[in-house]
Structures are given as structure tokens and as C-alpha cells.
């Protein structure tokens, strides 16, 4: 199952690999760890787009509106993240509709984009 396994001690340095590795360190004693690693193809780690779905259609529409407005302004997700104080990954998840956001979070993002929130 795992291609390479080796002993390392705290403070040892390991060589950087050119691929994507998943490493699992198991503490075996006070002085050593057992490291198990498996090489992955990057495509194995990606979730196909057809499996990515928004929490609900409403959450997805809010995310799309945020994304479209951000792109209209010529901003990257990183730009919006800096203006709102959230991480780029959080902005990405919100735009994709993968997470529910609080009203205050939504208010912060919409204010940064020059949008308003209306409840009807």
C-alpha cells in the first residue's frame, strides 16, 4: 500500500519530493516516529466538478453573485480576501456555495463589493 517508509527522529530533515505525497507520522516512542508515505497522482486528490455542489440553490446563487461582482470589479479572490479580512480559501468556498455564512460575514463581503443586502 505504501511505497516508502522510513524512520525519522524529531529534528531530522527530509528531502523534498517532486510529486504529491501523503505522509502519516506515527509516534512509536519518545525518540522516533514511523513515517508512512504514499505517492498520489494529483488527479486522485481532485474532486470532479460534477460532484461539487452547493449546500442549497439559494446559497449557490449568493456565491455566484459575489463571484460575478468581484470579477466585474477586476478583483481576484485574494484581493477580496484582503479587503474583508478573510482567507482566499474562505472566499472560494463562499463563492462556490460550499459553506453557510453568517449574516455579519455576508454583510462584510457585500459592503466591500459595494453591494447591499435586501430581505423580501
- pLDDT one-digit tens code per residue, 6-55: 434 344 444 444 445 555 555 455 555 555 566 766 666 666 666 566 68
Within a 10 A sphere around the Cβ of 4, how many other Cβ atoms?
12
Domains of the chain and any CATH numbers: 4-45 (no CATH), 49-113 (1.10.260.40)
Cα separations in angstroms, 6 against 9, 15, 65: 10, 12, 49
Q: Is the pLDDT of residue 81 over 80?
A: yes
pLDDT of residue 4: 42
Phi, psi (degrees; rounded to nearest 5) at 69: -65, -45
6-20, 33-47, 69-83, 95-109 — most confident range: 69-83
pLDDT of residue 35: 56
* CA dihedral of 113, 116, 119, 120, whole degrees rounded to 10: -110
pTM (2 d.p.) = 0.57
Amino acid at each position: 500500500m505504501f511505497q516508502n517508509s522510513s524512520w525519522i527522529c524529531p529534528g531530522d530533515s527530509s528531502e523534498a519530493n517532486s510529486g504529491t505525497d501523503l505522509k502519516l507520522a506515527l509516534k512509536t516512542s519518545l525518540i522516533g516516529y514511523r513515517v508512512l508515505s504514499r505517492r498520489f497522482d494529483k488527479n486522485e486528490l481532485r474532486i470532479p466538478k460534477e460532484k461539487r455542489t452547493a449546500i442549497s440553490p439559494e446559497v449557490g446563487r449568493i456565491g455566484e453573485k459575489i463571484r460575478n461582482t468581484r470579477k466585474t470589479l477586476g478583483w481576484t479572490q485574494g484581493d477580496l480576501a484582503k479587503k474583508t479580512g478573510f482567507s482566499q480559501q474562505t472566499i472560494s468556498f463562499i463563492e462556490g456555495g460550499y459553506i453557510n455564512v453568517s449574516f455579519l460575514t455576508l454583510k462584510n463581503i457585500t459592503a466591500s463589493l459595494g453591494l447591499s443586502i435586501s430581505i423580501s
